[in-house]
Structure 1
Amino acid sequence: MLGSTSGGAAVDDHLFHRRVVSGDESALGELYDHFSALLYGLALRVTRDRVAAEDITQEVFATFWERPLGFDPSRGSLRTFLATVAHRRSVDHVRSEERRRVGALAPRLFERPHDLEEGVVAADEIKRVREAVVGLPDALRQVIELAYYGGRTYREVAVEIGVPEGTAKSRIRLALRRLAETLNEEAL
């Protein structure tokens, strides 16, 4: 059994890693049987999307099959490695979806409308977005104003407000998520 005991886990990880590196498809099948439910569950919790979770699970195993040397058994367990890859892919999927949703609205904020009706609709959308931005907590409103209205990169935002780059990126993502939620709720 894969990784069933703490003493035998490393040996099994090494064995299965060697088998996959050598092209043993049955080893990949055994790994899939053993870890697919874990990876799918993890991806589903993060994405809340069954299709995305299935795709992510498949991608993790396909990537491991194509590039098995990305896993180093001396650095940790295969279970942890695969779960980490699945989690990262899931988070990337969620971020991509957020950017797509928010990004669909962002260009319209700066366009010039072509006729009166478009102008009224655009003005209404701009007003809704600005009201949603004003409703954000101060720290989140500040990063959105600097990044989107001020045209600054997340690095410039970090320097200007005196926080680490990762904090600035996290605040921008959180602010965009909250804006998307607020605007989606208003649309209902």
Structure 2
Amino acid sequence: MRSAESSTDSAADEVLLARIGTGDERALAELYARYASTVFAFVLARTEDRDLTEEVTADVWLGCWRSARTFRHDSQVLTWLLGIAKRQIYTHTRRKHLTVIPLEDEHDIPSTADDLDTLVISSEATNTLTKALNTLPTDLTEVVRLAWMHDLPYKDIAQLMNIPIGTVKSRISRARRLLREQLRNQDA
């Protein structure tokens, strides 16, 4: 369940996007400050090199500037930005004949995850959880990272990945179960 703070942030993001749609460069700078690192990490996790990531990320922000007026308010602004990123990755990799690779090591741990919350936040715990997450099938890993790292609601993940919301829920559930099993086996 989303917190009141998240809905306030979401409303503020929509106001910024509306201002961007009128040509307000300061609003773009503010939205960039909020989400640049998230968009960059999302793209970097799916491409093979940093130069391509920088190029794609620049095109995401250009796309945001050009398309802000077309935002339909049926998702969060971050989801909309990640959708632009996903299309830009496809366009760039198709054009350059590069391969999009699955999610790679990230040094973040989920912000919410039932009993995984009990893990002590430390370098060792982060590494353990990252290794366990990386052993999951790609379809599970991507959904989990969008839900836990980017705090996207299931509805937005379903839209971004073009899958039913029930599939998102079942993938999250399966990932939790597999992660619990892996972590228990490591402790044994």
Q: Using structure 2 for the length normalisation, give the TM-score.
A: 0.46
* Larger RCO of the pair (alpha carbons < 8 Å, separation 6+): 2
Write 1 or 2 for the structure with the bigger share of helix: 1
TM-score w.r.t. structure 1 length?
0.46
